[in-house]
Amino acid sequence: MLEGVLDFIKELKLRNEELFYLGTLCLALSIVCFVLSRFTSTQVGGVNAWLKPFKFAVSIGSYAWTMAWYCHYLSNFNTTLFSWTVIILFGFVQFYIVFQAARGQLSHFNISSPTYSMLYSFMGLAAVIVSLYTAYVGLLFFTQSFPDLPNYYLWAIRLGILIFVIFSFEGGLMGSRMNHSMGALNDNSNWFIVGWSKTVGDLRVSHFIGMHALQLLPLLSFYAFKSTKAIIIISILYGLLATTTLVQALKGKPLFAQKEIKNN
């Protein structure tokens, strides 16, 4: 097991050294942020200030490692340009979120001053550019030839990127509303680490599920469902799951409602 992990890390670094180091730095940062969340009491938006940078560090780190792996398969693609675009844009996003957490201030939905408003807009622009660039990578996986890749694995990458891009842009719905909750103002019920609402609809649920199709579907195809038909069906079901949670949130319903306690 350990040998397999070390082999993966070595291969990942060979495939894309820039994104490998970005991912490694973010994942190390996530550990630091999680530890800080256990030993500090600073609250932002009703939750520990370090949980947001923790979640973003995990998300950006896993994205960097995933795209480092996938882009290796592409021909006639400027991997260096893509990598440095991701490093600069997501590096800024992660730095700003950590900086604001350290100050006990909001990073997202913070337009309390012209400077904060501008920085928040820059974060949104960074997310849009990376999402569009990822969509372009997905298009290349549909148009280029990959004779050395199993068809089921190739389709898992294609559909994983497609679902990722769709639900990445779903984040724009939260940005335009300045609110991730439906039925309350940015409710954080502290559900596990993700902090999803237990009382109202939460747009972050479908955002999270959809974006992690990028990792989950190829992993399922590579290790479990080695069939093109099976992985297409699973991808459709996974996309429906993400869509269902979006519809549920738009109706103002939480993913898991709290049970009412009746007094005798």
The torsion angles phi and psi of 120, rounded to 5 degrees, stand at: -65, -40
Q: Does a structural domain hold residue 257?
A: no
CA distances from 231 to 69, 156, 168, 213, 238 (A): 19, 6, 21, 12, 10
Q: Are 250 and 214 in contact (CB under 8 A)?
A: no
Q: Does a structural domain hold residue 255?
A: no
* Residue 263's pLDDT band (cuts 50, 70, 90): very low
Q: Does a structural domain hold residue 261?
A: no
Q: What is the mean pLDDT of residues 59-85?
A: 96
Q: Which of 40-49, 54-63, 92-101, 254-263 comes out lowest in average pLDDT?
A: 254-263
Range of the domain at 198: 2-250
pLDDT recorded at residue 259: 57
Q: Which amino acid is at 12?
A: L
DSSP states of 28-81? HHHHHHHHHHHH---EETTEETTHHHHHHHHHHHHHHHHHHHHHTT-SS--HHH
pLDDT recorded at residue 190: 60
List the beta strands (DSSP E) in the chain.
Answer: 43-44, 47-48, 181-182, 201-202
pLDDT per residue as tens digits for the range 100-156:
999 999 999 999 999 999 999 999 999 999 999 999 999 999 999 999 999 999 999
More confident site: 12 or 172? 12
CB atoms within 10 A of CB 30: 21
- CB under 8 Å, gap of 24 or more: what pairs does 103-108 form? 104/42, 104/43, 104/44, 104/49, 105/44, 106/44, 106/45, 107/52, 108/52
Q: What is the mean pLDDT of residues 72-89?
A: 96
pLDDT recorded at residue 192: 61
Q: Does a structural domain hold residue 164?
A: yes
pLDDT per residue as tens digits for the range 212-235:
999 999 999 988 888 999 999 999
Q: Which residues contact 193 (CB under 8 A, 6 or more apart)?
A: 51, 54, 55
How many structural domains comprise the chain? 1
pTM of the model: 0.92
Q: Does a structural domain hold residue 194?
A: yes
- Bridge partners, 101 (sequence order): none
